[in-house]
Amino acid sequence: MLLTKHVPLQSLCKLLEKFQLELVLLEESAEIRGTFWGEPEAGLVQNKVYARPDTPIQSLLHESCHAICVDGKRRENLHTDAGGRTAVEENAVCYLQILLADEIPEMGKQRMLSDMDDWGYSFRLGSAKKWFEEDAEDAKEWLMRYGLIDKNEIVQFILRK
């Protein structure tokens, strides 16, 4: 599992800043504010993503993608639970985190897919890779509908309105 401490902090901050998000890196033993799954998983409060050196990158990107995918009204009140209204929104969050993995050279798409499986994501086709390649059309369409990716799966680096 690739952890935050394995990636240059500046590259993580720069990626999140493209979405008007702020990475708050905490000390290894610090309590993570806004964590849904418990430590060391990333936390989310409004536009801030909280992580420690032992936070998995997949978790950091997943919570960041929740902040990207919620509408502006929900983003103002984000705290711990993004409150996804539908399964397709949760799928869109997963799809976007896979696309964004290529923005982190140490991670990349294939490592993200493997780390998602290792973490315990469950998809009906049995793996994140099979889901992404064969069963994620609804997630891709959702992301395109809100302008977060284009038809070529290029991330647009904007927040959902």
- The per-residue pLDDT for range 91-106, each reduced to its tens digit, is 999 999 999 999 999 9
What is the residue range of 17's domain? 4-76
Is 82 inside a domain boundary?
A: no
- The per-residue pLDDT for range 32-41, each reduced to its tens digit, is 999 999 999 9
Is 161 inside a domain boundary?
A: no
Residue ranges in the chain modelled with pLDDT below 50 = none
Is 35 inside a domain boundary?
A: yes
Q: Indicate if 14 and 44 belong to the same structural domain.
A: yes
pTM for the model stands at 0.95
Q: Indicate if 66 and 98 belong to the same structural domain.
A: no
Number of compact structural domains in the chain: 2
Is 155 inside a domain boundary?
A: no
> Do 34 and 50 meet the contact criterion of CB atoms below 8 Å apart?
yes
Q: What is the dihedral of CA 70, 88, 158, 101, to 10 degrees?
A: 120
pLDDT value at residue 126: 87
